[in-house]
């Protein structure tokens, strides 16, 4: 599985990356900005993008909106500490699979893989 992690601080997602690599035997790509993320989405056949709350040049939510418009078949997960109700309200219609706590930990990788298996994206 090709996974893109997007955060202005790459180390914030390091534990999650390690967990995903172990569980999914994934190829992990990292980006810090919208332009880096869009370039990787276009060139690398990304199947899952995990977006942190803030990038160097925009919010994670804004990038998720862009991904939903330009790459509707890419699975998207957002890191966000808002209440589930507010998160749902802000992401409704964007196809966001799930919300992760900020910062996500290695254990969150298992939740991601379980969710992806439940919807038939991976085994």
Q: What is the pTM of this model?
A: 0.94
Range of the domain at 69: 2-118
Q: Residues with Cβ < 8 Å from 28, sequence gap 6 or more?
A: 3, 4, 5, 17, 20, 21
Number of domains in the chain: 1
Q: What is the CATH number of the domain that holds 6?
A: 3.40.50.2300
Give the model confidence (pLDDT) of 41-58 as tens digits.
999 999 999 999 999 999
The secondary structure of 23-56 as a DSSP string is HH--EEEEESSHHHHHHHHHHS---EEEE-SB-S
Average pLDDT, the chain: 93
Residue at 123 is within a domain: no
Residue at 15 is within a domain: yes
In what helix (H) or strand (E) does residue 100 lie, and over which residues does it extend?
strand 96-100
Phi, psi of 24 (to 5 degrees): -110, 0
């Amino acid at each position: 599985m090709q996974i893109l992690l997007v955060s202005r601080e790459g180390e914030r997602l390091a534990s999650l990356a390690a967990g995903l690599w172990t569980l999914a035997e994934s190829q992990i790509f990292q980006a810090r900005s919208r332009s880096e993320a869009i370039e990787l989405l276009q060139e690398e056949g990304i199947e899952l993008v995990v977006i942190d709350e803030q990038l160097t040049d925009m919010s994670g939510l804004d990038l998720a909106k862009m991904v939903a418009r330009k790459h509707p078949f890419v699975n998207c997960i957002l890191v966000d500490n808002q209440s589930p109700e507010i998160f749902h309200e802000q992401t409704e219609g964007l196809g966001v699979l799930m919300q992760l706590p900020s910062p996500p930990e290695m254990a969150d990788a298992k939740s991601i893989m379980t969710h992806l298996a439940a919807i038939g994206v991976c085994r």
